[in-house]
Structure 1
Amino acid sequence: MSIVVFGSTNIDVCAYATRLPRPGETVHGDSYAITLGGKGANQAVAAAQLGAQVELAGRTGIDTFGTLARQRLAEKGVRTRALYQDPDHSTGIAVIGVDQSAENCITVVGGANMAVERGDVERLEPLLGEAKVLLLQLEIPLDASLAAARRFRSRGAVAILDPAPAPSHGFDAAAWSSVDAMTPNEAETEALVGIRPKDASSAARAATALAERGLKIAIVKMGGAGVYFRSPEGEGHILTFPVKPIDTVAAGDCFNGGLAYALARGDELPTALRFACGCGALATTRRGASDAAPTLAEVETILRCRNGPALLA
């Protein structure tokens, strides 16, 4: 199976402390890590860790962080034929604080990621015939992402947009119909439709509102409360797996990588979402961004968990 991820590549500087600082305050941390990140890279690694053939497209700078990012991608088995080395912009970075309850705050400096343009879509041409799923996020300009989505969908690929970070101005009408699915979390759903999903009932209303805007498949993520989906074939609520989280930084990215993997291998949407929930849950049990991505064997183990999620129609 082949998955193309068109999105951001960052280097993450993560600091771990008992609690996150308030504005104007300095706190002493316990440890730090410098790792591969960026929602595009995280999702690419998540799918590759499961065994998929993955191509990551986008931009890095020609700098130390860019070299480190490419090295880490290669180690994780991600191909980078369409990852352009931008001579005019630095590699993106994210500064992440994580507290003892696994909550986090993130500041992203996009760098080369935000220089991506429609011309970068042309670099994807050799990948068009190979991809079954295209993963997109909002850490590169939306115009380029939607152009890629239309190109890949015309060749039969499924285009999934993770609307993160949430757009303050929302989407225009064309954006909703340019992709097959969106996977917003609670905050992103509220930003898009004005409904914050806290349970199945509120998530169902939010999914309906997303569909009314022209979205084919709405996948509303609610953290520990699970996932609610609505598609032309039906809708339902999938509960999450019981785990003890220590770091939620890349849980959503691992969810999306797992969803892409399952759909690319031919799973029906409810089955693919249960698989994705397993990926997201496991990611919260370890530190780091791309380093938190589970293997296929680990996901298959949690899927056999007696207390794992059920589909509630």
Structure 2
Amino acid sequence: MSARPAHIAVIGSTNIDFVAHVSHFPRPGETLHVHDSATGLGGKGANQAIAVARLGQAVELAGWTGRDMLADMARATLHEVRVNTHWLLSDGLNGTGRAFITINQAGENQILVDGGANMAHGDTACPLLSPVLAQAAMVMMQMEMDPALMVALARQARGMGIPVMLDPAPVPAAGLPDALYALADIITPNENETRALTGILPTDQATALRAADIMHARGTGTAIIKLGSRGVAYSTIHPREGEDARGFVPAFHVRSIDTVAAGDCFNAGLATALVRGQTLAGAVRHGAACGALATTRAGAAQAAPDAAEVAALLAREKE
């Protein structure tokens, strides 16, 4: 049997999203009419896997769905874009995860998540998902699964010499497990996640890099802090020869309508560029382009751009 080609392994959640567009977020006790709604694939794991696939990179998704109609919908969408779902397991006791997303006219979002099967498995389930790591060039993780399971899988990946990229979203109520800082080669929080992790709300490059120093002190080699429309700051304690250890990538100029998938598409673009050998600065810029394009269309997984769209935006911004 021939070996599998190198791939990015994504270990994370698969949800079905129920999205409502409103004029403004409802106040307590207020009832609003929805002016548009949609149902589609979501979950940070599935979103990131699809975003990687649309960039032309081999990707395998590991996690759980239920055994229900929502699982059928999720798997059909993943197969359409050629995400390998061999390690996306079926849970007969818990339903497929669901997310309820409200988006206002400014494109801002509020999200409620019912984790379902995603959150039903602890660290003893590590052997069920760890085969996805075989021959992986990188593993991408998020926090929509049990934190103890994430620690166990990250530890196994590091033991195999596989770089670990951690999106610490959503930050657990008890905080990110201390072990994950040291096990994560790369951590990619946004502003609010950075504040939850470090106590610093980053508003510019300087404050972002101060927060990055805290994450370095806890053991993380590379911290990449997403500042939304203000850009992306990055810092690494292991720069390549001739590469700057710290830097900032300004935001791309696009017309944003929906920020739901921006962070997931950023991470996919970052990971894809890194496994293809780009410098950290180049990979951050590639990720920023992917995230920016995702904000120009509605939805989660369906908002991910393809490689041609990203190349066009990068070329336009150079002009």
Same fold (TM over 0.5): yes
Matched positions, count = 308
Q: 2:62 matched to which residue of 1?
A: 57
Tell me the distance in 2 between the aligned counterparts of 1:27 and 1:124. Answer: 42
The whole-number CA distance in structure 2 between the counterparts of 1:290 and 1:93 is 14
CA contact (8 A) 2:165 2:185 kept: yes
Secondary structure of the structure 2 residue equivalent to 1:291: helix
Paired residue for 2:8, among 3, 14, 17? 3
Partner of residue 242, structure 2: none
C-alpha separation in 2, matches of 1:191 and 1:281: 24
Deviation at 1:305, TM superposition (A): 1.9
Q: Deviations over 1:193-237 (max 9, x none)?
A: 000000111111111111112211111110011111110121111
Report which stretch shifted further, 292-301 or 116-125.
116-125
The one of 127, 130, 133 equivalent to 2:135 is: 130
Query: Please, what is the CA RMSD of the aligned residues?
Result: 1.3
Q: 1:242, 1:307 within 8 Å by CA — same for their partners in 2?
A: no
Cα distance in 2, alignment partners of residues 173 and 93 from structure 1? 28
- The answer (yes or no) to whether the contact 1:173–1:214 under 8 Å persists in 2 is no
The aligned residue for residue 3 of structure 2 is none
**Superposed, which structure 2 residues align to 1:186-197 within 5 Å?**
186-197=191-202
Structure 2 counterpart of 1:249: 260
Q: Output the CA distance in 2 between the equivalents of 1:258 and 1:306.
A: 17
Q: Could you tell me how far apart the structure 1 residues matched to 2:128 and 2:8 are?
A: 15
Spell out, residue by residue over 1:61-120, the C-alpha distance to the aligned partner (whole angstroms, 9 max, x if none). 000101111111111211111111000000000000111110111110000000123343
Unmatched 5+ stretches in structure 1: 309-313
Per-residue deviation, 1:122: 1.5
SS at match of 2:24: coil
1:217-296 matches, within 5 Å, as 217-232=222-237, 233=239, 234-296=245-307
| Deviation, structure 1 residue 260 | 1.2
Is residue 154 from structure 1 mapped to residue 159 from structure 2 by the alignment?
yes
- 1:82-97 superposed matches below 5 A: 82-97=87-102
CA distance in 2, matches of 1:74, 1:47: 13
Q: Secondary structure at the match of 1:279?
A: helix
Q: Is residue 2:211 matched to residue 1:200?
A: no
SS at match of 1:51: coil
Whether the 8 Å contact between 1:10 and 1:38 is mirrored in structure 2 is yes
Match of 1:311 in 2: none
Matched letter for residue 219 of structure 1: I
What percentage of aligned pairs have identical amino acids?
47
Q: Deviation at 1:300?
A: 0.4
What's 1:166 paired with?
171
Paired with 1:23 and 1:88, the residues of 2 have a C-alpha distance of: 34
1:145 to 126, 141, 150: 150
State the distance in 2 between where 1:61 and 1:173 align: 30
Q: Alignment partner of 2:70: what SS?
A: helix
**Distance of 1:80 and 1:45 partners within structure 2:** 11
The CA deviation at 1:240 is 1.2
2:31 match: 26
TM-score calculated relative to the size of structure 1: 0.95
Q: TM-score normalized by structure 2?
A: 0.94
